[in-house]
Amino acid sequence: AQSVAQPEDQVNVAEGNPLTVKCTYSVSGNPYLFWYVQYPNRGLQFLLKYITGDNLVKGSYGFEAEFNKSQTSFHLKKPSALVSDSALYFCAVSRGGGNKLTFGGGTRVLVKP
């Protein structure tokens, strides 16, 4: 079985400061890891993915994520947060037998001006 944990329900950060959203995973074998963002009353938007290769993955809107196999983590980062980054962020994993996603519970990000 595969699972994802997002230990923080909410992250508060001031605009212009670095943003980090934490994610840890549990899966047998090599994971495929994803980050999605959800704005109110909207579906999920794909931000980035890790399949293999470089542990630092760059994605949309200035976001990046670092894959750490030893810590089974895939934290999302942004060097300078914007108010418009305020949203709900989901980490997800897929492994084997297709690309079905197992999601974490989500982390709400609030960026204050």
Partner 1 sequence: DAGVTQSPTHLIKTRGQQVTLRCSPKSGHDTVSWYQQALGQGPQFIFQYYEEEERQRGNFPDRFSGHQFPNYSSELNVNALLLGDSALYLCASSLGSGFGYEQYFGPGTRLTVT
Write out the residues near partner 1 by the rule CB under 8 A.
Answer: 4, 32, 34, 36, 41-46, 49, 51, 90, 92, 94-106
CB of 16 to partner 1, least distance (A): 29
CB of 39 to partner 1, least distance (A): 10
- Pick between residue 77 and residue 108 the one whose CB is nearest to partner 1: 108
Among 105, 101, 92, 93, CA closest to 29: 93
CA-to-CA distance for 23 and 104, rounded, in angstroms?
8
